[in-house]
Structure 1
Amino acid sequence: MNHTAALVSLATSVPPHQFHQKQILEAAWAVLGRYEQFETLSSLFSNTGIRNRYGVKPIEWYLEPRGWPERTEAFLQGGESLFIDVARKAIAGADLDASEIDTVVTVCSTGIATPTLEARVAGKMGFRSDVSRVPVFGLGCAGGVSGLSIAARLAQSRPGTNVLMVALELCTLAVRHDELTKANIVAASLFGDGAAAIVLRAGDGGATQVEATGEKLWPDTLDIMGWSVDPEGFGVIFQRTIPDFVRDNMGPAVAEIVARMKLPIGEIDRFICHPGGSKVITALERALSLGQGTLDHERDVIADYGNMSAPTVLFVLERARARGLPPRSLLTALGPGFTASCVALRHAA
């Protein structure tokens, strides 16, 4: 019997408030315009390749300073609603009932909740009382791929059980009024809210299977990306130029990971990448020796939704699946650590 974890269904969801990039630039002027370099840096908003983004609150909410209590209340309300919506879609897509879910993996780095989101929504969802809960915090933009890797290993360890993985991020709630920094302006130009959910099961085949997984953690890179924490909330850390790091390091890292998977890199038919932004996408194409414009789904997703952190790569996967996956794909994402995470997918037409 094949005990490889298979993707049974995949769903995505965004919160109700849509923002055009021009609206966000106007709001950023109101909040951050007093920063002396803002006018120069404001060109970032038109260079990201982003047209639209989504948020859990109306845009007026972000124009007022917010502390931890208000941010947390918004995270709980918005996060619970978005979790229920995307999880129900994925469960229905798998032709299951919520009571048939055996394990829930929740990936999130943009809010803190104890009990965690899957416990808070368990009653409304209809999860069984013996459902296994695996909340994962701190993976950031790598969370979609690393979360899929974790969920696949859990499914493989108990063939026949149904594993639900939800990657959910509410990045907009971290907007800061007090941090007049380039990093904060970069974050304001890029990030949006969204969620993706996957149901996996091992033991009964499936068209798309998780063939292998792997990661690489670079030493002495804690300053590349992450959160600082203070009384007001999370503060974004961007201390290095990520596109340059991607261009110089991602190619060898992927080659190393794929070699450990014992897969010939030449047999990867499609790279499905987390699109951090337009410059990161271009850097990925160079690092992976791809023709310019190859990462088309990545550009489309970033245009329509912005960078939603962890779930973004799964939005890309959704589009790739809709167009028809080739025999072998490699999902890749980079996140705090600094870490590269990869999942190889094998697809039978």
Structure 2
Amino acid sequence: MHTAALVSLATSVPPHTFLQKDVLAAAWDVFGSRFPDFERFASIFTNTGIVKRHGVKPFEWYLEPRGWPERTAAFLEGAEALFVEVAGKALANAGLAATDIDTVVTVCSTGIATPSLDARVARRIGFRSDVARVPVFGLGCAGGASGLSIASRLAQARPGSNVLLVAVELCSLALRHDELTKANIVAVSLFGDGAAAVILRAGDGGATRIEQCGEHLWPDTTDVMGWSVDPQGFGVILRRTIPEFVAQNLKPALLQILGRMQLSLDDIDQFICHPGGAKVIQALETTLKLDQGTLEHERQVIADYGNMSSPTVLFILERARARGLPPRSLLTALGPGFTASCVSLRHAA
């Protein structure tokens, strides 16, 4: 059976850049006088490893409380613009026109759009009227890996067809002034906006191929990560210490996933991991028995962009490809569910 190959990969971020030191200063102004524990949590901002991030709105926009209508308007405007930009880059990199795309997989968990984003931008991009659309919601940070898995299977099912995956997230719009919780402060310290696009095709070769895919869902973990919903919008749920969960639970899950692929950890030449933050990166290196500093692309991406949820791991893949991939890589991401999603990549130099 033909396996799907990466034809092109592109990334984009919105125009507004926020330095972490400025975000911390603004957080003191917004939360400092109302949240007695804020001083204790303020160190989170310096421990994330983040230097700067990007947002779809100017910095000042986030300093005022916002409700559902304003957040949704900002989401539609910003997500559509990023979708068009990053898809255009991926098409240009592949030497394709929008009319060459047969299937579009759209991954997004940070806003609600019905009709979905792909339909909203179809005319601007130039998709055919018979393009197949697959919008995917709710995968959170695992969406980059799971979306790549979904897109690769769709490409494999129709050899020769072009499948476009777009992962776009506007995490900054979930900033809440009214939630005086550690989870909200962590979200403010960590998340940024961004998008990534991948074009896949099966049946005609390609240097980097999707070898196999797998997932692991831990039972009774729906409270680990996700959204709550109220009249103001989404509110972040982070009920457990994610780094500790990763350190204790990820390796056994990966061993099960790799076992189903008839692989072992020793078969993996490089790990490409979604970085939840600096402590998660450390936990990944520890549990996978990697030398400290091995996940350098992960640290660079988190420093430059923060945690963008689903696109983040594809930003890291972009850097890894530019540096040169080894024969086999394992792309991994963790997200709501609580879920681990993995994609093994085979690369021919």
| Contiguous gaps of at least 5 residues in structure 2 | none
Work out whether 1:88 is the aligned partner of 2:67.
no
> Paired residue for 2:5?
6
Asked if the contact 2:4/2:153 (under 8 Å) is kept, the reply is yes
Distance 1:235 1:337 in 2: 16
TM-score computed with the length of structure 2 as normaliser: 0.99
> Paired residue for 1:79?
79
Asked if the contact 1:212/1:261 (under 8 Å) is kept, the reply is yes
SS in 2 for 1:49: coil
Calculate percent identity across the aligned residue pairs: 75
Any runs of at least 4 consecutive aligned residues in structure 1 with deviations exceeding 3 A, and if so which?
Answer: none
Deviation at 1:3, TM superposition (A): 1.1
> Paired residue for 1:146?
146
SS in 1 for 2:341: strand
SS in 1 for 2:50: coil
Distance 1:225 1:65 in 2: 23
Distance 1:143 1:188 in 2: 20
Deviation at 1:262, TM superposition (A): 1.1
Distance 1:123 1:172 in 2: 27
Distance 1:330 1:176 in 2: 35
Asked if the contact 1:106/1:136 (under 8 Å) is kept, the reply is yes
Distance 2:222 2:299 in 1: 27
Counterpart of 1:14 in structure 2: which amino acid? V
SS in 2 for 1:121: helix
> Paired residue for 1:24?
23
Deviation at 1:314, TM superposition (A): 0.4
Question: How many positions carry a matched residue from both structures?
Answer: 348
Asked if the contact 2:18/2:55 (under 8 Å) is kept, the reply is yes
Counterpart of 2:4 in structure 1: which amino acid? A
Asked if the contact 1:327/1:347 (under 8 Å) is kept, the reply is yes
> Paired residue for 1:48?
48
Distance 1:82 1:24 in 2: 23
Deviation at 1:265, TM superposition (A): 2.3
Deviation at 1:341, TM superposition (A): 0.3
Distance 2:172 2:22 in 1: 14
> Paired residue for 1:329?
329
Pairs within 5 Å for 1:1-349: 3-33=2-32, 34-349=34-349
Distance 2:206 2:25 in 1: 47
Deviation at 1:138, TM superposition (A): 0.2
Distance 1:309 1:231 in 2: 23
Deviation at 1:181, TM superposition (A): 0.2
Distance 2:2 2:87 in 1: 24
TM-score computed with the length of structure 1 as normaliser: 0.99
Deviation at 1:264, TM superposition (A): 3.0
SS in 2 for 1:6: strand
Asked if the contact 2:104/2:133 (under 8 Å) is kept, the reply is yes
Distance 1:32 1:140 in 2: 26
Deviation at 1:97, TM superposition (A): 0.2
Deviation at 1:288, TM superposition (A): 0.8
Distance 1:295 1:249 in 2: 19
Distance 2:342 2:43 in 1: 32
1:133-153 residue CA offsets vs partner (Å, 9 max, x unmatched):
000000000000000000000
Distance 1:40 1:59 in 2: 24
Distance 1:112 1:130 in 2: 24
SS in 1 for 2:150: helix
Counterpart of 1:127 in structure 2: which amino acid? F
Asked if the contact 2:142/2:334 (under 8 Å) is kept, the reply is yes
Distance 2:303 2:135 in 1: 29
Asked if the contact 1:30/1:63 (under 8 Å) is kept, the reply is no
Distance 1:220 1:80 in 2: 35
Please, which moves more after superposition, 27-36 or 198-207? 27-36
Deviation at 1:31, TM superposition (A): 1.8
Distance 2:73 2:137 in 1: 18
Asked if the contact 2:67/2:231 (under 8 Å) is kept, the reply is yes
1:108-152 residue CA offsets vs partner (Å, 9 max, x unmatched):
000000001110000000000000000000000000000000000
| Contiguous gaps of at least 5 residues in structure 1 | none
Distance 2:223 2:96 in 1: 43
